[in-house]
Structure 1
Amino acid sequence: MNVSADRVRQQILNILRAWGMAEDLAATTAEAMVETDLMGVDSHGISMLMTYEQRVAEKRLNLNARPRIVRENACTALVDGDAGLGHPVSSFAMNLAVDKALAAGVGVVGVRNSHHFGAAGVYARIAARRGVIGMVTSATRGIAMVPTRAAMPVLGTNPLAFAAPARRNRPFVLDMATTTTAAGKIKVWDLNNRAMPPGWVVEGDGRIVTDPKRGMEILYKEKPGGLTPLGGTPELGSHKGYGLAMMVHILGGTLTGASFSPVRERDHRPGRPDNIGHFFLALDQRAFREEGAFESDLDEVIDILHATPPADPAKPVLVAGDPEEMERERRLREGIPIPDSLDRLIRGICERSGAAYVLA
């Protein structure tokens, strides 16, 4: 079924409130999650509630955590997320980075002691909406990526997002995992009972997996095997994709003092927070260009790309951010698709938490 964004937002709010989350924190979280679903990133929106419920049951989440600045100067800050969900602290950190960039030309904010924050592009877009360039990276909790030449996964999907504002066109927004696909996409394919594209998931011996149920078993229940690095082949992987994942972890995890997934899993104790780290950079282009010059030049670049003759006339050339914005417009009109399998899971959460069910 297709459900309006307002009802999806309300459903998320109902569940977060039932879990005991403060109103303002729940509102920030629900807004980030529904924006993710509107842009078609179904792996990181309402479908994450099952994972969050598990974290609540394990007492790993501080649902009423407030971001706390640990150290700060004119251009940088380190923020402690106090073991809360990543959405509120990430919105706070990106806005803080933008404030610093508007005052000093650049702002860099690291976050430690956080949890899953949804889609990185949501926060990069905050910077673009406020008129500056934004970049976001994050460490991850899960262990999913099989390094080049390895049989076992070690790294996470470690996302990277970048956004730049234009004047006439939509912002340029790149939002990507450093694996061939995000781990959550396997969940979406499983919920929709669809065969996965070859090359997303491999067994420990390099054999390609297309059954999403087997993919879920490899990622969440047993090893070896896992996701391939970005740009890799099932046989060899990609040194560059693997290296990019490491770069993202260094910024989002090592720099901020957050944990590294294999170390955290090895030292796992009940109730211990995930201690995920995030990295937010904002850059005011006016530190380099006259007012409006950057946006005008970016418009010209985007216009040229859009005007490039397509190989298939029915499929015009797009720029990063176009597919998500087009999907957002469509879903605002038609609603967010909720598979029956996901609907059943949401109903179950409502029954267990006492939250009102409002999707149907």
Structure 2
Amino acid sequence: MKSLALLKRYDWQKLQQFCTEVFIRAGVDKNHANTVADSLIQADLRGVDSHGVVRTAIYLERIERNMMNPFAEPEIEMEQGPTVLLNGNNNFGAVVGSKALDIALEKAKEQGIAVVGVKESNHFGTGAFYALKAIEKNMILLLMSNASQTMPPTGGKRPFIGTNPLAVGVPAGKELPFVLDMATSVVARGKIIVAAQKGSDIPLGWAIDKDGNPTTDADAALQGSVLPVGGPKGYAISMFIDILAGVLTGAGYGKYVNNMYENWNEPQNVGHFFIAIDIERFMPLDLFKERMDRYIQEIKAEPKADGVNEILIPGEIEHRLVIERKKTGLELPEKVENELEAIGRRYSLKLSDALIDSCYSNQKKEAVN
């Protein structure tokens, strides 16, 4: 029989409220606190646990050690036509990213397209968090962000560029929207962090150690480098993202994007790059959605390879996870659970208030006996 501890599930809404209240009691504006907590919970719901509530502790530590400024509002530094340069003023990445998204969507509605570059930001969570909000507004969104050094250039053995993510959101009609959200590494470094916290090995091919040797040891991988997806192609895409999000915006790039876990002397200075497109500048929205539906239906109707039950589109697995996890609750690694409990004690909050009731746990216990 599995132990009851393994069966703990947390109600996603109550867990989000817990995180929101933690940030508020740490001095963060209520609306900003909710935005950050929302971004963390949405990541967990979509199965991107590496970008979920596991980040709460490091965000708080960055605030407490004056490495992030949650009180300075992002502000427009340059604006001309459909282009904007936003200075995040070192606020939370989710706050800065949300402001950039709002500007991009408003500009795109006015001018058909908008390009918003961002500097002086921080880790902004998952790209899907923003892509889905654009889809709700019937807009197409392409967004990029750079990150601190975790990946070598092809032919190198030490980190120089980040696992710079790329995300795209495209609405559909009756079908699910297209939601691409990917790191340019074989795997997001955050997943290696989670594996290290669990004491688990990682698959061969994810990373190299500090000497450039392939490794399955998560701790050794964190001392070394993750590898680019598709070899030189992933490296090239990551470099391209760094140029747009970092070099062009005036943010950090390459070795000048600071690691939020290791650098306690300087802000991260992460850069982002948002491109929003108004579909109705090309065709009526209903017609576009009909065409998207047909396109998706035709892809899913393609002959399947042996052993394949269903052809999926980007974002479909995550969509199903959201539905499942909203019903059954969120599991947390023991280390994360302990961190959140300790944080709760500091701010007179109980993580246990977010637990799903014991009746549910008892039912699950019987099911695994």
The aligned amino acid for 1:294 is: F
Change (3 A) 1:13 1:194: same
Structure 2 residue aligned with 1:207: 213
Residue 95 (structure 2) aligned to one of 85, 88, 93: 88
**SS class of match (1:27):** helix
Structure 1 residue aligned with 2:313: 319
Moved more, 143-152 or 65-74: 65-74
Per-residue CA deviation, residues 153-187 of structure 1 (Å, 9 max, x unaligned), is 11111110001001111110100001111110112
Per-residue CA deviation, residues 121-154 of structure 1 (Å, 9 max, x unaligned), is 11112111100100110111x2100111111111
Residue 252 (structure 1) aligned to one of 245, 261, 277: 245
Per-residue CA deviation, residues 194-253 of structure 1 (Å, 9 max, x unaligned), is 32111111124443211223323x1xxxxxx3100111xxxxxx2111010011111111
- Trace 1:250-289 onto structure 2 (pairs within 5 A): 250-263=243-256, 271-289=265-283
Change (3 A) 1:354 1:115: farther
Give me the whole-angstrom Cα distance separating, in 2, the residues matched to 1:68 and 1:50: 27
Contact 1:25 1:64 in 2 (8 A): no
Q: CA deviation at 1:353?
A: 4.7
- TM norm structure 2: 0.88
Change (3 A) 1:242 1:50: same
Contact 1:136 1:281 in 2 (8 A): yes
Contact 2:257 2:270 in 1 (8 A): no
Structure 2 residue aligned with 1:230: 229
Give me the whole-angstrom Cα distance separating, in 2, the residues matched to 1:271 and 1:359: 35
Give me the whole-angstrom Cα distance separating, in 1, the residues matched to 2:258 and 2:333: 32
- Trace 1:191-202 onto structure 2 (pairs within 5 A): 191-202=197-208
- TM norm structure 1: 0.90
Change (3 A) 1:147 1:63: same
Per-residue CA deviation, residues 268-301 of structure 1 (Å, 9 max, x unaligned), is 9855321111111100122222342222111111
> Unpaired runs of 5+ in structure 1?
219-224, 232-237
Contact 2:242 2:254 in 1 (8 A): no
Structure 1 vs Structure 2: percent identity of aligned residues?
33
Give me the whole-angstrom Cα distance separating, in 2, the residues matched to 1:102 and 1:265: 35
Give me the whole-angstrom Cα distance separating, in 1, the residues matched to 2:348 and 2:232: 48
Q: CA deviation at 1:312?
A: 4.9
Give me the whole-angstrom Cα distance separating, in 1, the residues matched to 2:330 and 2:303: 32
Give me the whole-angstrom Cα distance separating, in 1, the residues matched to 2:23 and 2:181: 26
**SS class of match (1:308):** coil
Change (3 A) 1:340 1:120: same
Give me the whole-angstrom Cα distance separating, in 2, the residues matched to 1:298 and 1:176: 21
Residue 143 (structure 2) aligned to one of 136, 143, 161: 136
Q: CA deviation at 1:82?
A: 1.1
Moved more, 54-63 or 15-24: 54-63
The aligned amino acid for 1:185 is: K
- The reply to whether residue 181 of structure 1 matches residue 180 of structure 2 is no
Structure 2 residue aligned with 1:301: 295
Give me the whole-angstrom Cα distance separating, in 1, the residues matched to 2:17 and 2:236: 40
What is the number of residues matched between the two proteins?
Answer: 345
Structure 1 residue aligned with 2:110: 103
Change (3 A) 1:81 1:36: same
Give me the whole-angstrom Cα distance separating, in 2, the residues matched to 1:158 and 1:269: 19
Change (3 A) 1:15 1:315: farther
Give me the whole-angstrom Cα distance separating, in 2, the residues matched to 1:97 and 1:324: 25
Contact 2:341 2:350 in 1 (8 A): no
Structure 2 residue aligned with 1:235: none
- Trace 1:135-154 onto structure 2 (pairs within 5 A): 135-140=142-147, 142-154=148-160
The aligned amino acid for 1:229 is: P
**SS class of match (1:293):** helix
Structure 2 residue aligned with 1:234: none
Contact 2:97 2:124 in 1 (8 A): yes
The aligned amino acid for 1:321 is: G
Contact 1:59 1:271 in 2 (8 A): no
Contact 1:143 1:261 in 2 (8 A): yes
- The reply to whether residue 328 of structure 1 matches residue 334 of structure 2 is no
The alignment yields a C-alpha RMSD, in angstroms, of: 2.0
Change (3 A) 1:164 1:264: closer
Structure 1 residue aligned with 2:236: 243
Contact 1:164 1:171 in 2 (8 A): yes
Residue 37 (structure 2) aligned to one of 30, 36, 40: 30
Contact 2:210 2:220 in 1 (8 A): no
Give me the whole-angstrom Cα distance separating, in 1, the residues matched to 2:25 and 2:215: 39
Moved more, 198-207 or 281-290: 198-207
Q: CA deviation at 1:355?
A: 4.4
| Misfit runs of 4+, over 6 Å | none
**SS class of match (2:40):** helix
Per-residue CA deviation, residues 52-103 of structure 1 (Å, 9 max, x unaligned), is 1331232111112312111213311111111111111211211211111111
Structure 2 residue aligned with 1:156: 162
Give me the whole-angstrom Cα distance separating, in 2, the residues matched to 1:269 and 1:167: 45
